[in-house]
Amino acid sequence: MTKQLLKISRIAKIAFLSVVLCPLSSGFAQNDEAKIDEPRTNIEKWVEARQLLSKEASDWREQHETMTFRVNLLKEEIEALEKQIEDSRKDVSLADAKRSEMKAEENRLRAAVKVVQDIVPRYEQIILNLSRVFPQPLLERTKSLLAQIPKDPQNTTLSTSDRIILILGILNEVDKFNGNITVASELREIDTGDTVEVKTLYLGLAQAYFVDSNQQYAKSGSLVGGEWVWVEQNDHAHDIWTAIAMYENVIKPALFINLPVTIN
């Protein structure tokens, strides 16, 4: 653009000199008025040409500044876009790594769930078998949970997690019962074939004693071979009744009582 402006300037100067000098060489044959008007006209044309050149130069400078501003703006936009693209690539890489990690974790969990699903039915059956020897107080505590164990493990609407919760709930009740002393009123059949009301003292699942209110019939019991075996202890009826009375705070202070114990 600058070269074009310089070229136009040189052409204008040559034109000006031509129109000024030409009348001087041939002006001797023209009148004075023509000699005066012609240079004036040429000067006006030269001024117009200079004004046009100045306007073109000013427009060019303005356009150049505008174009420079736009180019810089586009450069900034390009740099911002390139940064966004680079950030997006990093995010995609992180997302891919996270996805792979989550997929591996999912596979591990699926494998763990498969192990649990295979073993839950066996534990359910073990719990049901054990419940057959649960003392009456423990059976009362767990009967609602036991009733929810699926009869057909392969055809149930219960989820694996729900079935595990049932098993843990029953085992928790068994553990609490086994770690405490429990006294319960029960109906027991004695050797005469009669059924009498007795109070039974359970020392967890290790040992139990019962005695009737008249302190005539008493037995001690323990788990042997997966069932409760009861041994007559009529001679210890009063001691068993005294132990139960102390537990219920009927007798104070506490006393040392000798009770028969069966060790299996």
Domain extents in the chain: 1-110, 115-176, 181-247
Quote the pLDDT of residue 3.
52
Measured CA to CA, the distance from residue 69 to residue 75 in angstroms comes to 10
SS (H, E, C) 10-79: HHHHHHHHHHHHHHHHHHHHCCHHHHHHHHHHHHHHHHHHHHHHHHHHHHHHHHHHHHHHHHHHHHHHHH
User: Residue 30: is its pLDDT beyond 60?
Assistant: no
Q: What are 198-208's pLDDT values in tens digits?
A: 999 999 999 99
Quote the pLDDT of residue 45.
79
Measured CA to CA, the distance from residue 53 to residue 6 in angstroms comes to 9
Measured CA to CA, the distance from residue 188 to residue 140 in angstroms comes to 17
Average confidence (pLDDT) over 150-179: 91
pTM across the whole model? 0.59
Share of the chain above pLDDT 70, in %: 85
Quote the pLDDT of residue 112.
80
Confidence of residue 170 (pLDDT cuts 50, 70, 90): very high
Whether 230 contacts 220, CB under 8 Å: yes
